[in-house]
Amino acid sequence: MPTADAVKLSEILKGVSRDPFAVLGMHHVTEGTGKAKKKCVAIRAYLPRAEAVTAKDAQTGETFGLSPDQGGEGLFEAVIKDRKEFFRYTLEITFDDGGSFTTADPYCFKPTVSEHDAYLFNEGRLHGLYGTLGAHPTELEGFRGTRFCVWAPNAKRVSVVGDFNGWDGRRHQMRMIGLSGLWEIFVPLVGEGDRYKYEIHSFVDTVYLKSDPVAFQAERPPRTASVVCGLGGYEWGDGDWMERREGQRPHKGPMSIYEVHLGSWARTPEGGYLSYADLASGILRHVLDMGYTHIELMPVCEHPFDGSWGYQVTGFFAATSRYGTPWDFMAFVDGFHRAGIGVILDWVPAHFPKDAAGLARFDGTALYEHHDWRLGEHRQWGTHVFNFGRREVRDFLVSNALFWLEAYHLDGLRVDAVSTMLYLDHQKRPGEWLPNKWGGKENLDAIEFLRELNVAVFGRFKGVIMAAEESTAWGGVTRPTYLGGLGFSFKWNMGWMNDFLKYLALDPIHRKYNHNLVTFSIMYAMDENFILVLSHDEVVHGKRSMLEKVRGDYWQRFATVRAAYAFMFGHPGKKLLFMGNDIGHFIEWNYAESLDWHLLGYEMHGKFAGYMRELLHMYKDSRPMYEMDGSYEGFEWIDCNNADDSVVSFMRMAEDRGDLLVFICNFTPVVHRGYRVGLPRGGRYVEALNSDDARFGGSGVTNGDVWAEGWGIHGRAHSAAIDVPPLGAVILRPA
């Protein structure tokens, strides 16, 4: 190529060029010397394994043969002396294996990333970066193809490779936009369904392949290639739901969440995965029948290892292909919305795995993570920690949260492992962490990221929820950011969960000595907007199922769990139950197997499911059980001091305080006949629910109507004598 710059040409051949467009494609050159010197155009191509290349004017049809460079190596050039202006053209390429095709020249197109977007990205303010980065099928200058963009600021060269170029990194070398670290190229003829990766030549001259961090689709694991996907074309039918959602106040409404792991909710008879469509059909029937208001999906972002349950993500923008396509997942969400059920996604911004194809050391450096392992690794999980202090990384994560809410119409995110983000020393031994600039253990960068995240989400979407899995005493998790809080709408109540499960695991005779485990949570129940959770983490890794956690014989286990759920649904806070908890699953959850749905064929499990159905529907239909979750005006103890009998009684009130419920819970196998309970007013009360009803598998100690007499007790002017069942709960409502 005598007209090309020798140094820049050498960089392309060595695979270290940051701007192959400076050499390849169509360029102005000068021919001749002196007065004979004139401007003309040259077309240059680098096509290893090509034997012949012809350029064809897209308008006139005139052809120009490109001559191979004498040095070989796939270099071709044509100097067109009678043309002074650029023109649109195609390349007709014949390869050494006899194959041929015609395409536009990737190196004749202007940059597909604006300098403004690159600037915003580097500033951490391109919160819709998924519209710029990644692979986007599009049309440029009349040619169909795909524009690619990836962030790799420290790479010497980045190429996009795939089936369309024989996975040859020499073919489609990308250019960097200024000093932004963003590399881009438009590749004609590449479209929906084509597989690709990025070939990265690092600063230490290693060459390796990486999946696209912003790919919308990926191959089915264990394969790791990204797939070109435009996400367009789905016609949503949830307009009414989305409109209603904007006017909702989640804190004032019912929220009973069914937590689901899609890979083990149910499986095919051969043990394979069900499709998104089949899962939607089955889960939706169950959720509507039982009376849940929401489902929460354990992570569906693409992940290679089933045993991570989805928490070791490699494709943050890709719905896992295990169960179908992105459009299948859209239909999944759409179906729930049409039926009036919200969909929440478990989202993982705290860490990512060290898989070679993923984010780890993406461009040969610690790009998404910290270089120092004391900041950049979570050794207990064998993962990297995001560098929340880097603006581009924060932008990546904030954009990812917005993407799921926008592209898939999700109703909220449960943010995983917030505690590990807030504290630099969380689950680390001395010497395994570094203090912040003030010498403290708080992760200042992560705190700012979480605030930025919630401001961005609530600034764009109304009626959604952001729930933090946060297990420490960090203050203000659900306080607004403008008041110094983190800005979440809800926090998982891990303290209540740990105390309550510890209490239930005790022999009933010892519960009176640990009565505080069942009462203490009310002391802080209004400090945050809480969700009471009995999640997947509580029925795995030797922790045993709910039925196995409690003491007693077969009957007593069911009775105890029925009473426990009544107490849980009476306690202030929204509710979350993991799949299987509502049918009395006997064994621990196994991510690789289906739930034991056959248990519903057994009498006690069928009756237990019937009890949970009534409790869930009662919760959804009873304002006192949810309307004042965040205020002590919605809760009053009647008697929290009867440790000897292990009985607690309390009231829940609606916002107008006229609508109320009375809960009496007995956590011993002793029947209390004529147990007197103080009541707020006289008159008739009806037994709204009794966990000991024979139709639920109980012993039948029930009350029917209850009359409040003018006999004061528990500081109240009225009271009633109630038969309190063994290991049971009674819920009364004023007639």
- Evaluate the CA torsion angle 625, 626, 630, 631 in order and state its sign: negative
Spatial contact of 410 and 403, defined as CB atoms under 8 Å apart: no
Rounded Cα gap, residues 494 and 578, in angstroms: 15
Spatial contact of 397 and 403, defined as CB atoms under 8 Å apart: no
Place of tokens 């499709």: 275
- E strands, 615-717, in order: 635-639, 647-653, 660-666, 672-679, 683-690, 705-708
Instruction: Write out the DSSP string of 552-615.
Output: SSHHHHHHHHHHHHHHHHHSSSEEEEETTGGGT--S---TTS---GGGGGSHHHHHHHHHHHHH
Instruction: Write out the DSSP string of 140-209.
Output: ETTEEEEEEEEE-TT-SEEEEEEGGGTT-TTTSB-EE-TTSSEEEEEEET--TT-EEEEEEE-TTS-EEE
The 10 Å CB-count burial string (b at 16+, else e) for 52-82 is: ebbbbeeeeeeebebebbeeeebbbbbbbee
> Rounded to the nearest 10 degrees, what angle do helices 391-407 and 115-123 cross at?
110
Rounded Cα gap, residues 568 and 532, in angstroms: 7
The 10 Å CB-count burial string (b at 16+, else e) for 5-23 is: eeebbebbbebebbebbbb
Catalytic pick among 296, 469, 528, 582: 469
The counts of H helices and E strands in the chain are 15, 37
Spatial contact of 124 and 395, defined as CB atoms under 8 Å apart: yes
Rounded Cα gap, residues 584 and 570, in angstroms: 20
> Rounded to the nearest 10 degrees, what angle do helices 444-460 and 391-407 cross at?
30
Structure tokens at 342: 């919200």
In 3-state terms the chain splits into helix, strand, coil percentages (rounded to 5) of 30, 30, 45
Rounded Cα gap, residues 377 and 391, in angstroms: 19
Rounded Cα gap, residues 615 and 561, in angstroms: 13
Whether residue 442 lies in the annotated active site: no
Rounded Cα gap, residues 41 and 31, in angstroms: 9
Rounded Cα gap, residues 182 and 237, in angstroms: 37
Rounded Cα gap, residues 703 and 722, in angstroms: 7
Spatial contact of 584 and 547, defined as CB atoms under 8 Å apart: yes
Whether residue 296 lies in the annotated active site: no
Spatial contact of 122 and 181, defined as CB atoms under 8 Å apart: yes
Spatial contact of 387 and 319, defined as CB atoms under 8 Å apart: no
Catalytic pick among 212, 416, 528, 629: 416
Active site residues: 416, 469
